[in-house]
Each structure stands twice: as structure tokens, then as C-alpha cells.
Structure 1
Amino acid sequence: MSHVHVPTTEPIQPARRARPRDWGALAVLMLPVLLTSIDNTVLSFALPQVTTDLRPTGTQLLWIVDLYPLMLAGFLIAAGSLGDRVGRRRLLVLGALGFGVASLVAAFSTTPEMLLVARGLLGFFGAALMPSTLSLIRNIFEDASQRRVAIATWAAMFSGGAALGPVLGGWLLQHYWWGSVFLINAPIIVAFVVLAFVLLPESRDPSPGPIDVPSIVLSLTAMLPLTFAIKKAAESGLTDVVVLTVVVGVASVVAFLRRQRRLAHPMIDLTLFGNRVFTGAITANLLSLMGFAGFMFFAAQFLQLVMGLSPLESAVALLPGLVVTVAAGFVAVRLVQRVPVHLVVAGSFVLSATGYAIAAFGDPSTGSIMLAFAVLGVGIGLAETLTNDLMLAGVPPHKAGAASALSETAYEIGAVLGTAVLGSILTQTFRRELQVPSYAADTTGHTFETLGGALERAALFPNEVGDTLRASAIAAFDHGVQLTSAAAIVVALSAAWMSFRMLRDAPKH
């Protein structure tokens, strides 16, 4: 039996039960969660219009999707540490205001480069939002059972935002230009800033130590190059640039970890990773989001470009799966009272693998995508609630910011890997399989890097010429979906095995 760290900070007296004001504070905390979850999914449904309006290359399109979660992941650890020091409520308000300005820049972008900058800014300010929401939940809800309900609500709001974003975005895309999807954020930010000062308590680490700038820099020089290397390797193989960025990233990771061991007040308490349950939970959290992001990357394009649905219709098609995801998070709270948590989390990944198998081997249709996403959603909902609860339960309240940052970092790295790895498999397969007749070739060199670009080109040719190109593009995309789904199945089943082994020592609920 491996050694399991047993927290020593649990109060001897029964934990204080939450009051009505505490539940009101939870409702306020859901607003920034809603902001970031909307921006994680709403752009997926605008991608077809972005490709035809701004005409990004295939690589730029991936970066437009990836840069937001990448910047979130890069700055989350620093933001969690900063919130512990300057105050979590204060950081939340500043992050919300910056998020609003970045949303305006994104909404009125006129070039792919401008949209990339805006997405980077959204990620930067989003990083100021997320760790503080979970850490405040950890401090507000002392009772374990109430905390699990609060975390289930937190996880459900991510899924709810993922559902609300595409529906609102789909309606906007049918009536306005694609940039309007970013304006959804404005009323949410106004409501949050006002209510935050009324209902949210301020909290911070009473003895946090100084802000460590070198650690912040090292966390960035680790995250950014390594994610870039993953993307470039999937596109063009092991090039000199890929090797160089891997070296920089790995060297930064080593330097960061060594520095954390030496510091009296590190940004990350590395002893947490000596706990198999904590390590298993954070890894499972990452892998579950990897599968979710990879599915969203191809599902929106398939429904709109292949099946011919409008943005709103495609959002509604995925809505049942997102509702199921929300429900599964609350079911998890009751389920672990009867079933060991390691079995529930392992089973959630088996469900995720089943969802991808339906997408890979079923007849390509709107119905098969809806069913696949619903099955996948059950797995995601179960895993997200339980893994976040396991991570937060093992840390004292005053260190909740750092632990929440680790949880959120895993979440965002999973989102990055979903589009960087699974999305790149799809993009690379599409490029390789697409057959372009010489008379339909385009001298710009970027038209046939995406399904949207290829179908737009096919529409310029009448009769069987365009039909042939369109059929080739759809066939290439379908083959890419199959290979992407196969890779996701391997990831999900590996995660199920890992969760079964590493979470067996988790405390019973």
C-alpha cells in the first residue's frame, strides 16, 4: 500500500454548515465560470464563418482555437499564487474587467492576427478568474458534503456555459456577424462586478510569502514552448524548431521544479504530488478535458459543413449531450456514496471511449454525433466533479488558490492537448487524403488546409467538377474523424486503467 498524505487541517469540531449568504456567494462565483466556459466553446460554432471571412491558414485556425486555453494554462499557476497574496475577490474583479476589454477586441477583429491577439488576452485575463472561483468555494464551504455539491455546481456551470454559449452564439450567428458571439460577455461582466462586492468575501493566505517573479517566468517558458512543440510536431514532424522548443520547455520545467523545492514559500507545493490520489485525480482531470475538446473541434464542423445545419441548429443538436453532462455531475455526488470513487472515475472514461467509438464506427449523421456526445458527456460530468473534489479536499483552505490553479491548469492543458493533438490528427489526415484536381487548384496555398476552405472552393465549380471536389473533401474529413476518434479511445481507456489503480486509496464518501 502506497503512502497517502492525510490532511492535518480538518477541524476537530464539526465543520460549519453553509448559510443562505454562502449559497448566494456560490451563485455569484458561477458568473466568471460562465464567462470562461462560454468562450471555450462558442468559437467552435463560429469557425466556419471565421474561415470564410478572415481566411486563416489551417495552422492559424488551430491557434485561434488553442491560444485561449494555452494562455489560461500558462498563467493559471501564477494567478492562483497571486490570488492567495493580493486577495481572491480583488483578482476576480480585475480579471473580469480585463476580460471585457479583450472581448471587444475579439468581436471587432479584422484579421486572423488581430483575433489571435484578442484570444491571447482573453486567456490571460481568464487565468485571473478561474483559480479564485474554486479557492473561494474551498474557503466558503467547510462541510465536505456541501463542498461536493458546490463543486458539482461549479463543474455543471462549465457544462452549462458550454451549452448556453453555442445556443446564444448560434442565434447571433444567424442574425449578425461572427464577432457578435464575444459580446455575450458584456452583461455577465457588469452583473458580476456589482454582485462581487456585495456577496463575495475577501480571502487570502495569511502568510503567503513574496511574489516570485522568476517562478512566474519559468512557468510560462515551460508551458508555451511545450504546447507549441506538440502542435508543430503533429503538423510537420520532428523539425529543428520542434526540437528547440522541447529543449526550452523541458529545461524550464526542470528549473521551475528545482526552484520550488528550494523556496520557503513556493508557488506549487510539490509534496501534493506525493499523494497518489491527488496525482491520479489531476491526471484524470486533464485527460477527460482532452477528449471533450477534441470532440468539440470536429463536431461543430461536421454538423455545419457536412450535414448542412445552421450554427443554431448544430448547437441545439449538441444541447442534449451538454445537459446530460450537467446532470451527471450531480449524480456523481450521490453515486460515490454507494460506489467507490475509483470505480466511478474509471467507468466514466470507459463511457467516454464508448462515445468516441460511436463517432468513429457509426454511420456519419447528425443522430450519431448527438448520441456519441451524450455518452461522452456522461463520462465527462462524472469525472470532472469527482476529480476536482479529490484535489481540493486534501489541501488546507489557505492554500486553496495554489491547488485550484493546479486543477485549472490540468483542465486547460487538457483543452490544449485536445485540439493540439487530436485536432492536428484531423487536420493532417484531411490534408493527406484530400484529392484536388489540377483545374481546381488554388495558388494561395491555404484554401485546402481546412474543410471550410475546400468546400468554399468546390462551390465555385458547377456540376460534377464541384461535386467531385466536395465528395473528396467530405471523405477526407470523415477519415480524419475516424483516426482522431481512434486516438481518443486509446487515451480514454488508458485513463480508465490509471484511475482504477491510482484512486483506490481515495477516502470513502
Structure 2
Amino acid sequence: MQSRAAAIRHQTEIAGAGSAKRRWAALVVLMLPVLLVSVDGTALSFAVPLISAALDPTGTQLLWIVDVYPLVLAGLLVPMGSLGDRIGRRKLLLIGATGFTIVSALAAFAPSAAYLIAGRATMGFFGAMLMPSTLSLIRNIFTVPGERRTAIAVWAAGFSGGAALGPIAGGFLLEHFYWGSVFLMAVPVLAPFLLLAPILVPESKDPNPGRVDPLSIGLILLTMVPLVYSIKTFTHYGMSAPLTLLLALALVAGSLFVRRQLTEATPMLDVRLFKNPVFSGAVTVNLLSIFSQAGFLYFVSQHLQLVSGLSPMTAGMYLLPGLILTIASGLAVVPLVRHLRPGYTVALGLLCNAAAFALVAYAGPAGWDLGLVIAFGILGIGVGAAETISNDLILGAVPAHKAGAASAISETAYETGSVLGTAVLGSILNAAYRSHIAIPDSLTAAQAATARETLGGATHLADGLDPSTAALLMESAHSAFDSGVLITSIIGVVFMLIAATIAWRSLRTATA
């Protein structure tokens, strides 16, 4: 009997070990689309100057090239999360990966800014199928809280690792090939995923999912698109009657969406989840943390290339320490929260973000590249800690069968933060640049308009001017750009202090 019991126990241990190996193998496979999405984001940031030179976009078009992808994601993540709950999260992930790969390859050959914006929007449609599916699959694969937290830390580290790889790989491609090569990276990343995911990643569904509601999808889009467009337009042209109407439309659509979800028997999004202060606080932290990182990356990538004159790859290497610290911080907080409450850990991370912006505001970016590297490292520590714990709190606050909805909300906050970080801080930066730049009298009206639009436009224009005029223009353009960096850094400090206060108040009751 003892021998039989030992044999049974041994078989159980083997089965358990095999199951554990399969879980972690599935996680490795799920990292591939995560890496792709994060690589795409940071690589594109470093391609902005070359895109500006090649396609000659206006300042608004340049912002839309960066913003339209996360904007479409933000509007479709919740519906796609609901669709994944219904048809299967793995199935939706495979559809999204296939579409994303094809559209990325097409976007690489866009002949104009308008075509590239359209391509980025379509990438956003398929990208909305990727991120919530990976996070909800992780929630269902790893059911033990300790394992789940480690898996989420690896997921967040993979996201940060892709962000670290993006500037290096993107910089290499941009130095040796044309700007569209950054989009072709999707093919070698997603090809192995499409082969391995059906084998290693288990399918999961919600047994009682909310229906896919076209009206609710429309209301989400009518909330997000006018809101971000209004922010961009306000910083460029100021307030106007049409802008007021768009903001009112976003407010009304958002209110109707919430009301519809509250009255539906099986809502597409259970907004009652936000009654949980830990859940709502973690979502808010998610949004504001990425807001800071996206805004910081927007100006630091341009400063290093267009003001300091670094190549794309060298500029990427300058940011590598900060992105590595993001990964290390995300993994380090997993054991830390056993001794320090999660809410306090998140608040400390956000205070690191505030310190990073304060360092830039105090020292000033002009001629101080090392200071920007240090500031980005501090920011990386804060983002890594805040993102890992807030994502874990979001998923831990809901039952496993609602993982799709919770993941979609988490990713919506992430992408909304990315949109608003670039839209708000980027638009304020552009507005400050336009108001401070002094245009040489010898330039034509068309040349002056180009120089005022963006720093990239001024840099490209200066290449065709006589040396004395070009030097005068670039001195003014660099000074104007860095004055905008100072303003956005001060705003970043204020936002991060608000976020830290929210985290301390709403998450202090959360336990590891």
C-alpha cells in the first residue's frame, strides 16, 4: 500500500511538473505579441524625425501618426475583450496576430502621411485583439496568486523589454534602411507565435459572456475620438464653438455608455467593477503612469536626435539603461509586496516618476543628455513598479471568468494613457515650440510655416538653407523646443503627484 501510495504521489508530482512547464511555456509564447506591440511603440517614436522628413506631415498629422493607433485601440479594447470572452481568447489572439502582421507590412510602404495614418488605424483594430487576450489568458492559466503575480511581472517585463529593444532594433534599421523598415519587424516576431500558440496556449472562454453590442462600441468610439481630437485641436488653435460641441459629444456618449451597461442584463462591460476602490484606483494608476512615460518618450527621443544630433541607434542606446531598469523594477516588486503594502509600493513608484520630471524641469534639457538618461532611469523604476502591481490588483479583484473584461479595462487605461500622454504633453510641447521660435526674416511664408510646425520640419528645412540662416534658425528652434520640454516637465510633476495621492488613498487596503 505504501509503495502504491508513493507511486501515485510520484505520478501526481510528474503531472504537476509537466503542467507547470506547460504553463510557463505558454507564457513564453504569449510574450511574442507583447514584445511586438511594445517594440512597435518605441521604434516608431525614434522613426518620427525620418517620417517627418520623408512624408512631410503637418504637426497635427505627425501627432496622429503616433496617436491614431492607441486611439483606435482604446476604443476597441473593451469590445474585443468581450468578443474574446465569447469566441475564445486564443482564437481572437490568432486572428489579431495575423491581421497585425499583414497590415504592418503594408504600412511600411505608405506613400504619404494620410496613408500611414490609415495603416496605423487598421493596425490598432487588430492590435486591440492582442493585448487583452494575452493578459486574460495569463489570468486563466495561472490561478495561484503568487504564480499569477510573477507571470504578470514577466508579462510587464516583456512589454518593457520590447520597449528597450525597440530603440536599438529600430535605430539599427533606421540607420541602414528606410523608415518603413520598423513596421516590417512584425513578420519575424509573429510568425513563430502563429505556429506555437495553437500547440502550447490553452483556449479559454467566459461561460456567460456579455454580448457584443454594436451600440456600445459606437458609444465608446464617440467618447474617445472626440475627446483626444479636442485636446489636440485646443492646444493648436484654442477653444472654439465646434470644439465645445465635440467635448460635449464625448461627455454625452460616455454617460450613455455607462448608463447602457448598467441597464443591460449581460453588459459588454460590467462598470460596477469600478465600485471596488482597489480596482478603480489601480486602473487610474495604470493610465497616469503610462501617461508620464509616453509624454517623456515623445520629447526625449526628439531632443536626443534633433537637438543633440545623435543617430537613432545611439539615441536608443542612451535610453537602454532606463528601459532595463523598468524590467528590473517590475520583477523586483514581486517579493517586495510581501513586506510592503501594494498601495504604498505603487505610490513610491509614482513618486519616482514625479522625481524624474522634476529633475528635467530643474536642470533643463539643453546640452544635458546625461541628465535625461538619469531622469529616464528614475522614470523606468517608477513605471516598472507601478505597472506590475496595478495590473496584478486589477486582475486579482475579479473572478477568473471575467478576466477578459478586466484585462480590456487595464489595457484601455494603458492605451488611453499613451494617447493622452502624447496628445496632452506633445500638443503642449508643440504649442510652446510654435510660440517661442523666432523665424529669420529671409525665409518665405511657406518656409516659415514649415519651420513653425515641428522641430523635425525646421531641421529638414535647414538642410537646404545657407549656413548662416540655417544656424540662426536651428539655434532658435532648439531653444524653443527645450522651453516646451520645461513646461511639459512641470505638468508631468503635477500629474504624478496627483497619481501618487490617488494610489495611497485608494490602494492602501489592498493586500498581496
| TM-score category, normalised to shorter length | over 0.9
Q: Deviation string for 1:336-391 (max 9, x for gaps)?
A: 11111121111111110111122222253221111010000000000000000000
1:432 is aligned to 435
Report the Cα distance in structure 1 between the residues aligned to 2:498 and 2:175, rounded to whole angstroms.
41
Q: Using the alignment, how far apart are the partners of 1:196 and 1:463 within structure 2?
A: 56
Which residue identity is paired with 1:177?
Y
Which deviations, in whole Å up to 9, do the C-alpha atoms of 1:216-254 show, x marking residues without a partner? 121111111111112212222211221121121111111
Corresponding residue for 1:40? 41
> Structure 2 stretches of 5 or more lacking a match?
1-15
2:462 alignment counterpart: 458
Contact 1:18 1:146 in 2 (8 A): no
Check conservation: 2:87, 2:205, Cα contact below 8 A: yes
User: Quick one: distance in 2 between partners of 1:196 and 1:358?
Assistant: 44
SS of 2:211 mapped into structure 1: coil
CA distance in 2, matches of 1:58, 1:483: 19
Match of 2:171 in 1: 170
2:372 maps to which residue?
369
- Distance, in Å, in 1 between the alignment partners of 2:408 and 2:264 is 18
Q: In 1, are the aligned partners of 2:450 and 2:458 still within 8 Å (CA)?
A: no
Q: Is 1:469 the counterpart of 2:473 in the alignment?
A: yes
Residues 304 and 197 (structure 1 numbering): CA distance in 2 closer, same or farther, change over 3 Å? same
Give the counterpart letter for 1:375 in structure 2.
I
Relative distance call for 1:209 and 1:469 in structure 2 (3 A) is closer
- Mean Cα deviation higher: 364-373 or 173-182: 364-373
Superposed CA RMSD: 1.4
Q: Determine the C-alpha separation between the residues in 2 that align with 1:16 and 1:132.
A: 25
Matches within 5 A, 1:375-390: 375-390=378-393
Aligned amino acid, residue 139 of structure 1: N
Task: Give secondary structure in 2 for the equivalent of 1:124.
Answer: helix
Query: 1:265-309: per-residue Cα shift (whole Å, max 9, x none)?
Result: 111112211111111100000000000000110111100111111
Q: 2-side partners of 1:17 and 1:226: how far apart?
A: 49
What residue number does 1:223 align with? 224
2 CA distance for matches of 1:449 and 1:71?
25
1:301 aligns with 2:302: yes
Amino acid at match of 2:86: R
**Structure 1: runs of 5 or more not aligned:** 1-14
Which string of whole-angstrom CA distances, capped at 9 and with x for unpartnered residues, describes residues 160-215 of structure 1? 11111111110011110000011111011111111111101111011224322211
* Amino acid across the alignment from 1:439: S
Measure the CA separation in 1 of the matches of 2:114 and 2:288: 30
More deviation in 353-362 or 90-99?
353-362
Tell me the TM-score normalised to structure 2 length. Answer: 0.94
Contact 1:18 1:141 in 2 (8 A): no
Q: Which amino acid aligns with 1:385?
A: T
Q: How far did 1:17 drift? A: 11
Does the aligned pair in 2 maintain the 1:85–1:205 contact within 8 Å?
A: yes
Query: 1:442 deviation in Å?
Result: 4.1
Does the Cα contact within 8 Å between 1:17 and 1:142 map onto a contact in 2? no
**Aligned partners of 1:16 and 1:143 also within 8 Å:** no
Deviation at 1:49, TM superposition (A): 0.6
Query: Do structure 1's residue 488 and structure 2's residue 492 form an aligned pair?
Result: yes
The amino acid that maps onto 1:153 is V
Q: Which moved more, 1:139-148 or 1:341-350?
A: 341-350
2:417 paired with 1:399: no
Q: Secondary structure at the match of 1:446?
A: helix
- Does the CA contact (< 8 Å) of 1:44 and 1:65 recur in 2? yes
TM-score, length basis structure 1: 0.95
Residue 266 of structure 1 corresponds to 267
Code of the residue aligned with 1:399 in structure 2: it is K
Q: What code does the residue aligned with 1:47 have? A: V
- Write the deviation string for residues 66-97 of structure 1: whole angstroms up to 9, x where unpaired: 11111111100000000000000000000001
Supply the distance in 2 between the matched residues of 1:16 and 1:205 (Cα, whole angstroms).
Answer: 27
Bigger drift between 269-278 and 457-466 goes to 457-466
Pair 343,16 (structure 1): closer, same or farther in 2 beyond 3 Å: farther
State the Cα deviation string for residues 315-355 of structure 1 (Å, max 9, x = none). 01100000000000011101111111121111111110111
Q: Which residue of 2 aligns with 1:319?
A: 320
SS in 1 for 2:442: helix
Deviates more, 1:285-294 or 1:232-241: 232-241
Conservation of the 8 A alpha-carbon contact between 1:18 and 1:140: no
Indicate the larger mover: 173-182 or 263-272.
Answer: 263-272
The residue type paired with residue 395 of structure 2 is L
Question: Post-superposition shift, 1:16?
Answer: 11
Contact 2:278-2:397 within 8 A present in 1 as well: no
What residue is the counterpart of 1:443 in the other structure? Answer: 446
Per the alignment, residue 343 of structure 1 pairs with: 344
Which of 216-225 and 70-79 deviates more?
Answer: 216-225
Map 1:111-260 → 2, pairs under 5 A: 111-260=112-261
* TM-fit CA distance, 1:460: 2.9
CA contact (8 A) 2:211 2:268 kept: no
**Counterpart residue type for residue 397 of structure 2:** G
Offset at 1:156? 0.8
Aligned to 2:101: 100
| 2-structure distance, mates of 1:130, 1:104 | 20
Query: 2:161 is matched by which residue type in structure 1?
Result: G
Amino acid at match of 2:300: A
Equivalent residue runs for 1:49-60 within 5 Å: 49-60=50-61
Aligned mates of 2:267, 2:223 — CA distance in 1: 17
Q: Distance in 1 between matches of 2:509 and 2:36?
A: 35
> CA offset at residue 405 of structure 1?
0.2
Question: Which residue is equivalent to 2:8?
Answer: none
Q: Percent identity at matched positions?
A: 50
Q: Report the alpha carbon displacement of residue 256 of structure 1 after superposing the two structures with TM.
A: 0.7
Equivalent pair of 2:210/2:269 in contact (CA under 8 Å): no
How far apart in 1 are the matches of 2:119 and 2:451?
A: 24
Q: Is the 8 A contact 1:16 1:142 kept in 2?
A: no
Q: Structure 1 residue 463: deviation in Å?
A: 3.8
Task: Name the aligned partner's letter for residue 473 of structure 1.
Answer: A
C-alpha deviation, 1:466, in angstroms: 2.0
Instruction: Write the distance in 2 (CA, Å) between the matches of 1:162 and 1:266.
Output: 34
Read off the aligned partner of 1:56 and give its amino acid letter: P
Structure 1 window deviating more from structure 2 (348-357 vs 233-242): it is 233-242
2:278 is the counterpart of 1:277: yes
